């Protein structure tokens, strides 16, 4: 039976055409799935790398003692053109000090190791904009094991123990952390990546299943004939399994080859915010084996399931009847989901979303898939009314005969278009809440804080935000600096030097004296001059007649631009003394005229504020906005990619379904052509059969998603916010995906002309 099954699979022109068409469709699905698995593997490897930045140490005492196997660490961050530079200053305290990951020895005093990306940047950027921040000379580059991405900017700087020991946030380390999880959101990103991979898997499995069922009706007739001449159900099952497994195995091999061709491009493409190392972008040996084993096995199982009518009776195929039309009851989940979502939005406030909205969203997605066959049936019945001629009539009649089968190949498309449109409608709104007019007005204003800024929850429970920022300091002087900022003399000197930069404007914020006794949440109250507030109008105003005002600076040091640009003072705030002598410098705001000047000032701050305990790099409000917006842009890009790939897969599925339909209808199409039906009419029939469900599903899914996103924006946004406008990228993605799908569909049309030539009539 195995040999007989192979002969039926590979003997004859029609059998070979079906074999290679099926293998080609499976190859496309396997290649896309391997790309997803490779990217997911790279993400997992990156997320599980040891987090040396998470190393914790002990406090540095006033009397620094040398000890074998220990070293001093001072970890912080710099920023260059909006990109974070991870900076570690280190000094060994004795023999056997832990060696940093990615290097063979600790950097000596006057030396530093840099990541390849940072080393290249140091060679190409003016020194006063970046290089002057790092004392010494380049001793080598940092290896991949210490980096999450080839584009990471990391530097290890060698220092003397005496100099490093007096700096704020320095700690004593005897072991480097080996745990993973530098990014606190990694578990959520991993779950989201898994969901995304599953979302890709669904349409790809549909494609593979459609491909393996190619020309299912003709095969059922053949198998029924074999049953009539004495073949058993088990023998028919073996033949069907061989037929499906061979084509799927060939497709899996071709798919692996296609993936290997695409892999170099996959390595150089950053789907998220950073690229992965080339060695990590692989589905691993288990991914390859899974494709070679699981795809043929799944295809064989699908082929066996498709024989259920033949198993019931050899005459089941001949006696088959048109299935009943889908009932309108299929719309119940969709309608219920829309109602629940609307109720949830009605109960939503500006800061929270009603609980009913989430199950409503899920139910809408289920309803779109469950009601898709009803939608296809309605579209099929409407097509002949909208377009005159024989082609719409024939196509509509065939689609209405079995709308479930017509919709089956595009089920994944519905969800992809729905989610893509929802995200395209909501991401601009989310970005607008970040890039508020007040935040944009301070785009070129840089904030440098000199206190240990808090990380606070809703209960305002604040803790330090850098490794060892409080534990590593014990002296009374250092505690005062952590709580209040730079001492008066150091602050006055710094302000004088900053004002010497041409074109800059400097706005200092001083800490309230301890005797004042009116601390704000977390103790973050300060004094700012009214002249400064007039230049930074979005941050508030002064009481009438005041020259300085007491301000609550808590929000100023957060990471959400919509919060950091909230007013810190107003007419209700008490006036403050305009005599800043003797006050600690809590923070400074600096308006810069250009990016080059921004980096020069930032380099100056990095090298002239050694007393600062904040551990935070000075950043402009514009850079904070861009960092938040980049997250939304990454989500948008991934969703657009998902929609484009799903459209491609849907087009492949439709092309395979068309090929199967042509083989099944070779006799009637040939007779129609012989009787005078133009080939162009038959081609229009085939195209309409594919396009009608594709367009109907796309329009309904996109329209439903846009309506829901518009409702969400209207409810959650502030009054006067315009309805969401889908960007050019969304339309380009949708158009390109549909064009590729149509191209895949038309690629099957040449088969129509060859198989319906008049010469083939005698064989029918």
For residue range 538-548, what is the model confidence (pLDDT) as tens digits?
888 999 889 99
What's the N-to-C CA distance of the chain in angstroms?
27
Which pLDDT score is estimated for 162?
A: 85
Residue 32 near residue 204 (C-beta atoms within 8 A): yes
Which among 211, 159, 193 is positioned nearest to 42, based on CA atoms? 193
User: Please, where are the H alpha helices in 213-232?
Assistant: 216-228
CA of 334: how far to CAs of 122, 338, 375, 694, in Å? Answer: 57, 6, 12, 19
Beta bridge partners, 551, equal 526
Q: Strand, coil or helix: what is 156?
A: strand
Q: State the number of CA atoms in the 13 A half-sphere of 45 facing the CB.
A: 22
Average pLDDT, integer, range 432-460: 70
* Residues with Cβ within 8 Å of residue 515, at least 6 apart in sequence: none
User: How does the average pLDDT of the chain come out, rounded?
Assistant: 78
Contact 629, 431 (CB under 8 A): yes
pLDDT score at 11: 59
* Cα separation, 392 vs 688, whole angstroms: 7
Q: Is the pLDDT of residue 656 over 90?
A: no
CA–CA separation, 80 vs 355, rounded Å? 42
Secondary structure tally for the chain: helices H, strands E: 26, 13
What is the pLDDT, as a whole number, of residue 237?
A: 66
Distance CA 432, CA 357 (A): 22
Work out the average pLDDT over 275-289: 88
Residue-by-residue DSSP string for 576-637: --S--TT--EEEEEEE-SSHHHHHHHHHHHHHH-TT----PPPEEHHHHHHHHHHHHHHHHH
For residues 649-675, give the mean pLDDT. Answer: 74
pLDDT of residue 23: 80
Q: pLDDT category, 576, cuts 50, 70, 90?
A: confident
Q: What is the pLDDT of residues 12-68, one digit of tens each?
A: 566 676 677 778 778 887 888 888 788 888 888 887 788 888 888 887 776 667 788
Q: For residues 70-95, give the mean pLDDT.
A: 89
Strands 585-591 vs 505-511: parallel, antiparallel or unpaired: antiparallel
> Is the per-residue pLDDT at 166 higher than 70?
yes
Q: How confident is the model at residue 455 (pLDDT cuts 50, 70, 90)?
A: very low
Q: Is 81 left (phi over 0), alpha (psi -120 to 50) or beta?
A: left
pLDDT of residue 372: 86
Residue 458: predicted pLDDT = 36
Residue 351 has pLDDT above 70, yes or no: no
**Residue 552 φ then ψ, to 5°:** -90, 105
47 closest CA partner among 177, 182, 173? 182
Three-state secondary structure call for residue 83 = strand
> 117-131, 226-240, 380-394, 556-570: which has the highest mean pLDDT?
117-131
Is residue 96's pLDDT more than 60? yes
**Would the pLDDT of 582 be above 80?**
yes
- The secondary structure of 38-71 as a DSSP string is HHHHHHHHHHTSB-GGG---EEPPSS----TT-E
Q: Using the predicted structure, report yes or no on whether residue 510 has a pLDDT greater than 90.
A: yes
Dihedral over Cα of 715, 720, 723, 728: its sign: negative
Measure CA 85 to chain center.
22
Give percent of the chain with pLDDT exceeding 90.
18
Residue 667: pLDDT above 50?
A: yes
Higher pLDDT, 660 or 624: 624
CA torsion, points 508, 513, 516, 517, in degrees to nearest 10? 100
Taken as a whole, the chain contains a residue count of 764
Mean pLDDT of 62-84: 84
For the chain, how are helix, strand and coil distributed in percent, rounded to 5? Answer: 60, 10, 30
Q: What is the CA radius of gyration of the chain?
A: 34
What kind and span of H or E run contains 674? helix 666-674
d(CA 87, CA 602): 14
Are 169 and 466 within 8 A, CB to CB?
yes
Q: Quick one: pLDDT at residue 750?
A: 80
What is the spatial distance between Cα 211 and Cα 432, in angstroms, rounded to a whole number? Answer: 44
Round to whole Å and give the CA distance between 739 and 506. Answer: 55
Q: Where are the alpha helices (DSSP H) in 213-331?
A: 216-228, 233-267, 284-305, 308-312
pLDDT of 226 reads 64
Using alpha carbons, list the distances in angstroms from residue 419 to 193, 336, 376, 646. Answer: 15, 18, 20, 12
At 266, is the secondary structure helix, strand, or coil? helix
Pairing of strands 137-141, 111-114: parallel
579: Cβ contacts below 8 Å, ≥ 6 apart = none
Rounded to two decimals, the pTM is 0.70
- Span 703-748, pLDDT tens digits: 998 998 888 888 877 666 677 778 777 788 778 777 777 787 777 7
Element (H, E) at 161: helix 161-165
Q: How far is CA 237 from the centre of its chain?
A: 43
Instruction: Categorise residue 504: left if φ over 0, alpha if ψ from -120 to 50, beta otherwise.
Output: beta
Give the model's pLDDT for residue 59: 77
The domain ranges of the chain are: 1-48+184-315, 53-173, 322-326+371-443+624-764, 485-613
Model confidence pLDDT, tens digit, residues 176-223: 887 765 554 445 455 555 555 555 555 566 665 665 555 555 566 666
Question: Kindly report the CA angle at 52 between 51 and 55, in degrees rounded to 5?
Answer: 105
Q: Which of 48-57, 100-109, 158-167, 239-248 has the highest mean pLDDT?
A: 100-109
More confident residue, 152 or 615: 152
Residue 92 backbone class (left: φ over 0; alpha: ψ -120 to 50; beta: rest): beta
Close Cβ partners of 127 (under 8 Å, ≥ 6 residues apart): none
């Amino acid at each position: 039976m195995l040999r007989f099954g192979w002969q039926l699979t590979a003997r004859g022109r029609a059998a070979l055409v079906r074999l290679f068409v099926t293998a080609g469709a499976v190859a496309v699905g396997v290649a896309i799935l391997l790309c997803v698995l490779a990217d997911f593997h790279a993400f997992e490897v990156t997320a599980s790398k040891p987090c040396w930045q998470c190393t914790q140490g002990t406090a540095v005492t006033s009397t620094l003692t040398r000890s074998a196997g220990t070293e001093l660490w001072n970890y912080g961050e710099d920023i260059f053109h909006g990109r974070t530079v991870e900076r570690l200053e280190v000094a060994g305290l004795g023999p056997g000090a832990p060696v940093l990951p990615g290097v063979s020895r600790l950097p000596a005093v006057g030396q530093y190791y840099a990541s390849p990306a940072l080393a290249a940047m140091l060679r190409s950027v003016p020194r006063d904009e970046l290089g002057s921040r790092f004392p010494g000379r380049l001793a080598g580059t940092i290896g991949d094991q210490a980096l999450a991405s080839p584009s990471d900017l990391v530097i290890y700087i060698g220092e003397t123990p005496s100099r490093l020991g007096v700096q704020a946030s320095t700690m004593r380390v005897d072991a480097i952390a080996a745990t993973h999880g530098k990014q606190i959101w990694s578990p959520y990103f991993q779950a989201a990546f898994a969901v995304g991979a599953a979302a890709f898997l669904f349409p790809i499995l549909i494609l593979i299943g459609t491909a393996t069922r190619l020309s299912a009706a003709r095969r059922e007739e053949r198998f029924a004939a074999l049953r009539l001449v004495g073949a058993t159900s088990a023998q028919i099952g073996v033949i069907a399994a061989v037929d499906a497994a061979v084509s799927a195995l060939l497709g899996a091999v071709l798919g692996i080859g296609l993936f290997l061709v695409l892999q170099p491009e996959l390595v150089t493409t950053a789907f998220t915010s950073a690229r992965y190392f080339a060695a990590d972008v692989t589905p691993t040996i288990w991914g390859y084996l899974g494709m070679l084993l699981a795809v043929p096995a799944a295809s064989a199982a699908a082929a066996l399931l498709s024989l259920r009518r033949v198993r019931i009776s050899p005459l089941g195929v001949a006696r088959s009847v048109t299935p009943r039309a889908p009932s309108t009851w299929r719309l119940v989940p969709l309608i219920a989901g829309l109602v629940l979502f609307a109720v949830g939005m009605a109960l939503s406030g500006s800061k929270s979303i009603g609980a009913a909205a989430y199950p409503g969203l899920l139910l809408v997605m289920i309803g779109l898939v469950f009601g898709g066959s009803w939608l296809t049936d309605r579209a099929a019945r409407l097509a002949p009314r909208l377009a005159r001629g024989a082609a719409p009539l024939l196509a509509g009649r065939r689609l209405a005969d079995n709308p479930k089968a017509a919709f089956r190949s595009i089920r994944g498309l519905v969800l992809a278009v729905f989610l893509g449109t929802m995200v395209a409608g909501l991401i601009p709104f989310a970005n607008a809440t970040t890039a508020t007019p007040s935040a944009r007005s301070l785009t070129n204003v840089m904030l440098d804080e000199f206190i240990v800024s808090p990380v606070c929850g809703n209960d305002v429970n604040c803790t330090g935000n850098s490794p060892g920022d409080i534990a590593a300091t014990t002296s009374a002087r250092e505690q005062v600096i952590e709580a209040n900022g730079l001492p008066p003399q150091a602050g006055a000197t710094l302000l004088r030097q900053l004002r010497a930069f041409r074109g800059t404007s400097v706005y200092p914020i001083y800490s309230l004296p301890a005797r004042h006794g009116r601390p704000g949440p977390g103790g973050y109250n300060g004094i700012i001059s009214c002249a400064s507030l007039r230049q930074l109008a979005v941050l508030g105003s002064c009481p009438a007649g005041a020259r300085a005002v007491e301000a609550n600076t808590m929000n100023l040091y957060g990471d959400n631009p919509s919060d950091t640009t909230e007013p810190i003072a107003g007419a209700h705030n008490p006036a403050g003394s305009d005599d800043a002598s003797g006050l600690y410098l809590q923070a400074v705001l600096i308006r810069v005229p250009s990016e080059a000047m921004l980096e020069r000032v930032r380099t100056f701050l990095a090298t002239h504020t050694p007393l600062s305990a904040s551990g935070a790099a000075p950043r402009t409000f514009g850079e904070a906005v861009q960092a938040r917006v980049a997250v939304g842009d990454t989500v948008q890009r991934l969703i657009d990619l998902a929609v484009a790939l799903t459209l491609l897969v849907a087009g492949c599925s439709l092309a395979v379904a068309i090929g199967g339909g042509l083989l099944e209808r070779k006799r009637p199409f040939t007779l129609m052509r012989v009787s005078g039906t133009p080939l162009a009419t038959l081609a229009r029939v085939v195209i309409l059969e594919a396009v009608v469900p594709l367009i109907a599903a796309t329009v309904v899914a996109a329209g439903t998603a846009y309506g829901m996103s518009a409702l969400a924006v209207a409810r959650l946004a502030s009054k006067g916010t315009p309805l969401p406008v889908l960007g050019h990228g969304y339309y380009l993605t949708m158009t390109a995906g549909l064009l590729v799908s149509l191209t895949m569909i038309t690629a099957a049309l040449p088969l129509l002309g060859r198989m319906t030539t008049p010469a083939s009539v005698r064989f029918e």
